Amino acid sequence: MSAALTSLAPKAQPPPRAHTPYGEYVADLLDSYERFGGLNNSDAHNLPSKRAVGEICEGLLQILFPGFHDDDVVQDGTLAKITAARLAQVMPRLEDQVRKSVRIGNPKKPTGRTPPILQKFCKALHIVREILQTDIESAFHNDPSARSQEEIILSYPFIEAISIQRLAHRLYRAGAPVIPRMMTEWAHSRTGIDIHPGASIGSHFFIDHGTGVVIGETCRIGNHVNIYHGVTLGARSFMKDEDGHVVKGLKRHPDVEDNVTIYPNSTILGGETVIGANSTIGANVFLMSSVPANSLVIYEEKQLSIRDKTKRVVPKQEWSI
């Protein structure tokens, strides 16, 4: 063979390496993928992306609070253009994730569910903003350390948590699977506040401090409710079927009526438990039964005491955190 032809001939490939770093563990991992799942690829179930959902949440916060989640302020006269551009950027990404969620188990079969879900969600965006304004006002009026509403939006973790929860709740009600839970878990990881997207929460809601708060899926919370850190609104027990499997879809978490305050580290459990309107639950209280309206629930000398607040004659005691 001539030198010219030799130069054009494909070069011989080096033999495969007999050993690559950590190569001995690959076979075990491949076997695990095969037996237990947990793999997302184009040949299997094309699932939603956690990273994409997180980025969508960031974009939605920018839409809810223009300029507060940006490096620069919004210039006069540009808000309409910026809002349109952000919707055009965020909504197709959300649509893609919702489409993947409704096709879980059969990724190639169209369902027709995605467009109406997105339409309902978009129509609710301005409503969510209006309710969030009441939450900001409640924080300002109930927290003596708050100096301005701008401070609350910029620095209070509960605003981020409740903003994402209220958005996720709209998707949850519209029938979007998985995505609402992914959104609230994204907020949970950032704020320490765990609110299930199924929870129904009224206006003027305020969580002070917030770390460790847990609010379950079937909670119904009224208007003007204040909650402190470490509060759990959880399930008392889980009903099981004849095969021993947990029955899903039942009412498992408590209801909290209007104008209730729940102080730190209290635990309230059970789907039949109702905290009556205008009640105050003191710190470290453990409840698995309902209390009537206008109750003060506290521990006195290790004994649980429930009183009628309207008949109290001692000076009103205020808690300060």
Q: pLDDT tens digits, the chain, 321 residues: what are they? A: 444 444 445 555 554 544 667 878 888 888 888 888 777 765 555 789 999 999 999 999 999 998 888 777 778 888 899 999 999 999 999 999 999 999 887 777 788 999 999 999 999 999 999 999 999 999 999 999 999 999 999 999 999 999 999 999 999 999 999 999 999 999 999 999 999 999 999 999 999 999 999 999 999 999 999 999 999 999 997 778 777 788 888 999 999 999 999 999 999 999 999 999 999 999 999 999 999 999 999 988 777 788 888 887 655 555 544
Global pTM reads 0.83
- Compute φ and ψ for 139, nearest 5 degrees: -60, -40
Rounded distance between C-alpha atoms, residue 98 and residue 92, angstroms: 10
Tell me the DSSP string of 64-121: HSTTTTSSSPPPTT-HHHHHHHHHHHHHHHHHHHHHHHHTTT-TTS--S-HHHHHHHH
Q: For position 313, what pLDDT does the model report?
A: 65
* Cβ(163)–Cβ(61) below 8 Å: yes
